[in-house]
Homo-oligomer: A and B are copies of this chain.
Amino acid sequence: MSSQTTTNKNEFAQENDLAQLIGEKEKSFIFQLRPGESFQSHMGVLPHDDIIGQKWGSRVKTHTNKVFTLLQPALDDLLRDIPRETQIMYPKDIGYVIMNMGVGPGKKIIEAGSGSGSLTTILAYLVGDQGHVFSYDNRNKNSLIAKSNLEKFGLDHRATFVTKDISAGFDHSGVDIVFLDIPETHLYIAQARDALIPGGFFGSLVPTTNQVSDLITALKKNNFSYIEVSEIMHRYYKPSATRLRPVDRMVAHTGFLIFARRVTSISETDEI
């Protein structure tokens, strides 16, 4: 980094970038910039070609003169923008999953279920072009919705969607990370173990304490180690300098986070 003052191509919206338009009442739209296409809403039309080349953070106008702020979406914003039919994970939980499981460039990850593809989106974003996400769901409808959401964000080349009942095992193995957000998680721990590399990371989010107990039992039975159970509470504040206080209501519970590591079992060690 010889030059102190960098020219960041990121300063201007470019072809294939994800763009977020925020309008009145913080109404938000997120899409990939594709030459020839147009943003269309009840607040007017705006050709992508008129957005490409604009400075991020600047104001843009539709043909009906409605003003939007042009921004690059954060991961967080992607999540909020995903049309969902199923409960999605919250940023507070996903963030800790990333930290705890070492999600990052080059990682191979299995997740189930695909749901609306919200977690898939974040994982695909972070693994980069060297990594990959294998996303399983037992309902074809979910696989299709999730895939289309990743296409929208231009991340679909980093994800493979599989419609399958995972009782019989995953089609892919040798992955670094398996994350399960499905009912009765404890029934699929042997399958998760088979798919993981030795030392690989297992993670799950389950809503009830009974499921946590079941999952701990299944993890121990399948020779997982370093089991960690926790929950995260996230409280927003009203951003007022002179009347600073938490908001009135908050999310009380999303789920319990359980993590473990696949360690070589004693029998496997004995073979050596």
Interface, chain A (partner B; CB < 8 A): 1, 4-8, 10-11, 22, 26, 55-59, 69-76, 79, 91-92, 94-102, 104-105, 108, 122, 125-126, 128-129, 132, 134, 160, 171-176, 197-201, 207-210, 212-214, 216-217, 220, 225-253, 256, 258, 261-264, 268-269, 272
Contact = CB atoms under 8 A, between A and B. Distances in A.
Nearest to A159: B1
B212 A69 contact: no
- Closest CB pairs A-B (n = 8): A95-B95, A57-B198, A56-B199, A57-B199, A8-B174, A250-B252, A246-B253, A209-B209
User: So how many copies of this chain end up in the complex?
Assistant: 4
A122 to B, nearest CB: 7
B102 A71 contact: no
Nearest to A238: B229
Chain A interface mostly helix, strand, loop or mixed? mixed
B240 A230 contact: no
Contact of A236 (B102, B209, B220, B230): B230
A209 B229 CA distance: 13
Contacts of A216: 239-241, 244
A249 B252 contact: yes
B108 A6 contact: yes
A187 to B, nearest CB: 15
Nearest to A265: B57
Contact of A252 (B5, B246, B253): B246
12 contacts: A8-B108, A10-B176, A26-B226, A55-B199, A58-B268, A208-B243, A209-B209, A210-B242, A210-B243, A230-B236, A231-B234, A232-B232
Contact of A197 (B11, B235, B252): B11
A105 B74 CA distance: 13
Given A209-B209, A230-B236, A247-B252, A174 B5 contact: yes
A258 B241 CA distance: 12
Given A92-B232, A95-B96, A237-B231, A74 B55 contact: no
